[in-house]
Amino acid sequence: MSETTEAPDVLAWTCPLPLRERPRVVMGHGGGGALSAELVRDVFAPAYGGPALSVTGDSATVELGGARLAFSTDSFVVRPLFFPGGSIGHLAVNGTVNDLAMSGARPAYLSCGFILEEGVETGVVRRVAEALGEAARTAGVEVATGDTKVVEAGHGDGVFINTSGIGLVPPGVDLRPQRVVPGDVVIVSGPIGAHGVAVMSVREGLEFGVEIESDCAALAGLVETMLAVTEDLHVLRDPTRGGLAAALNEIAAASGTGVVVLERAVPVPAPVANACAVLGLDPMYVANEGKLVAFVPRAHADAVLAAMRAHPLGREAAVIGEAVADHPGMVVARTGLGGTRVVDLPLGEQLPRIC
């Protein structure tokens, strides 16, 4: 650096080089944010993308033999394997079931691939498998096929699971961000942020004075309840990695509408809000595993909200905003004090701040 000076030397002010290219994969590439999207856009889609490949939605909708099927896959690498409110087994079922449900499908069959690390206790594998079975029975889906691989010690993290699923999309149901129009009401099915904070609390050994349980749950039943009110829901999304902020940004970008969120209307449990405040995280970006966000035509919004609140998984459903014609592709929050701010797509993983 420069020599000691009595006052800052304007001419010496300098800045670092940009990091435009990342020659190696970093954790953020799996964070569900902008880096993940870039990997899909630049590497995967050009390599094997076809007309059926869905790179925006949670699942693809394909036609086969006259039936409309939702088809989805997801891999689960959570650490620790068991956490307050769930386990990797529960996540592996509910994650894929929810991805199918967001297409309006009735999930039917799952595949289940286990990648086990040499040395992991069979008792642990059994507990995970039992949790997975319990979750499948609760969700009303059947595991129809599976696979097991073992990797050498040090090449895995105990248990990894991949699940794929298929389900039938009922006639008349067409859930896509492209159907969103200005005026649509944005509803979230309940308080956000619990899953991410619950996992972090056990993974990092953090204690927040009160145990926070993951919201891990299968949402197909809730979606069915909503579709019973009207088939004319516009889009559903489960805000997992990247949280509510990522889900809303994806819908805004894919629909070409703007989204306005009333910050004080977004339900955040007090323990989650407090934990996030301590860690410097924004609950809007924290992962959920049992919540959905819905864009509903204004005419149906009250009835859909009432139906959601009558369902056990939607008791605390709330209207949090609306789709607007302004600022297309962007999500804007009205703050509690009356200001506004942009709610951006997260870049990668959220990082706890230094102080």
Helices (H) and strands (E) in the chain, counts: 9, 14
339 binds other proteins (CB under 8 A): yes
Q: Which stretch binds other proteins (CB under 8 A): 68-76, 99-107, 221-229, 251-259?
A: 251-259
**Interface mask (CB under 8 A) for other proteins, residues 313-332, using x and -?**
--------------x-xx-x
338 binds other proteins (CB under 8 A): yes
Q: Which is nearer to other proteins, 218 or 238 (CB)?
A: 238
28 binds other proteins (CB under 8 A): yes
Q: Which is nearer to other proteins, 24 or 152 (CB)?
A: 24
Near other proteins by CB under 8 A: residue from 124, 273, 319, 324: 273
Q: Which stretch binds other proteins (CB under 8 A): 104-112, 150-158, 252-260, 302-310?
A: 252-260
8 binds other proteins (CB under 8 A): yes
352 binds other proteins (CB under 8 A): yes
- How, if at all, do strands 331-334 and 258-262 pair? parallel
342 binds other proteins (CB under 8 A): yes
67 binds other proteins (CB under 8 A): no
Q: How is 282-321 classified by DSSP, letter by letter?
A: -GGGS--SS--EEEE-HHHHHHHHHHHHTSGGGTT-EEEE
Shortest Cβ distance from residue 87 to other proteins (Å)?
24
The encoded tokens of residue 4 equal 């000691």
Do the beta carbons of residue 175 and residue 102 sit within 8 Å?
yes
Do the beta carbons of residue 190 and residue 308 sit within 8 Å?
no
- How, if at all, do strands 331-334 and 106-117 pair? unpaired
Shortest Cβ distance from residue 261 to other proteins (Å)?
13
Near other proteins by CB under 8 A: residue from 50, 64, 270, 312: 270
Sheet holding 159-168, edge to edge: 60-64, 67-76, 159-168, 106-117, 142-151
4 binds other proteins (CB under 8 A): yes
Query: What residues have CB less than 8 Å from 272, skipping those under 6 apart?
Result: 191, 192, 193, 194, 197, 212, 283, 286
41 binds other proteins (CB under 8 A): yes
The dihedrals phi and psi of 186, each to the nearest 5 degrees, come to -100, 125
202 binds other proteins (CB under 8 A): no
- CA dist list (Å): 347 to 43, 76, 215, 242: 18, 21, 24, 9
Q: Which is nearer to other proteins, 15 or 47 (CB)?
A: 15
Reported in sequence order, the residue ranges of the chain that DSSP labels E, i.e. its strands, are: 60-64, 67-76, 82-83, 86-87, 106-117, 142-151, 159-168, 185-188, 235-237, 258-262, 293-296, 318-324, 331-334, 340-343
Count of residues that interact with other proteins, criterion CB under 8 A? 69
Helix or strand or coil: residue 224?
helix
37 binds other proteins (CB under 8 A): yes
Q: Which is nearer to other proteins, 14 or 122 (CB)?
A: 14
154 binds other proteins (CB under 8 A): no
Helix or strand or coil: residue 116?
strand
Residues that bind other proteins (CB under 8 A): 1-10, 12-20, 22-28, 34, 37-38, 40-41, 45, 55-56, 204, 206, 209, 249-250, 252-254, 270, 273-274, 277, 279-280, 327, 329-330, 332, 335-342, 344-345, 347-348, 351-355
